[in-house]
Amino acid sequence: MSADFAVPQTDAQRKWQAEFRRRADFMARDDLDEWCRINPMPKEDEEFDPEPCDHEWQVQDDSFDHEFGTEKVIYERCVKCDETRPHEPYDDSHCDDREGK
Ligand SMILES: [Zn+2]
């Protein structure tokens, strides 16, 4: 039986479908199929608990030059699941070193 695109009946199934749609936004079709194979839609008496990813963030720098300067496009991408997050540069200004200014 194929329940891949069945109407979700349980919270777990709704959660699964939301996760599926979220992934459909950034995953390639093949990767998405692979994800479905590893994480099929939960049955009615099952909980949905996607395999947690032990994210391995890698800084992506898609900055580009244009006629008015450089557009900074820097973010981080997980090499395992392709999830992205904003890059927060390490702040090395030691403002708290001394008190008062
Ligand atoms: Zn990840």
List the domain range (segments joined by +) for residue 39. Answer: 1-46
- Average pLDDT score over the chain: 84
* 59/79 same-domain check: yes
- Residue 37 CA to ligand 1 centre (angstroms): 18
pLDDT digits (tens, 9 = 90+) for 43-55: 989 888 777 788 9
- What is the count of structural domains for the chain? 2
Q: Percent of the chain, pLDDT > 70?
A: 82
Assigned domain for 71 exists = yes
Tokens of 18: 């939301």
Output the pTM of the full model: 0.47
- Residue 52 CA to ligand 1 centre (angstroms): 8
Q: Percent of the chain, pLDDT > 90?
A: 53
Q: In the predicted model, is pLDDT for residue 29 greater than 70?
A: yes
Assigned domain for 100 exists = no
Q: Are 82 and 99 in contact (CB under 8 A)?
A: no
Return the higher-pLDDT residue of 12 and 1: 12
* 36/3 same-domain check: yes
Assigned domain for 96 exists = no
- Residue 56 CA to ligand 1 centre (angstroms): 6
* 41/58 same-domain check: no
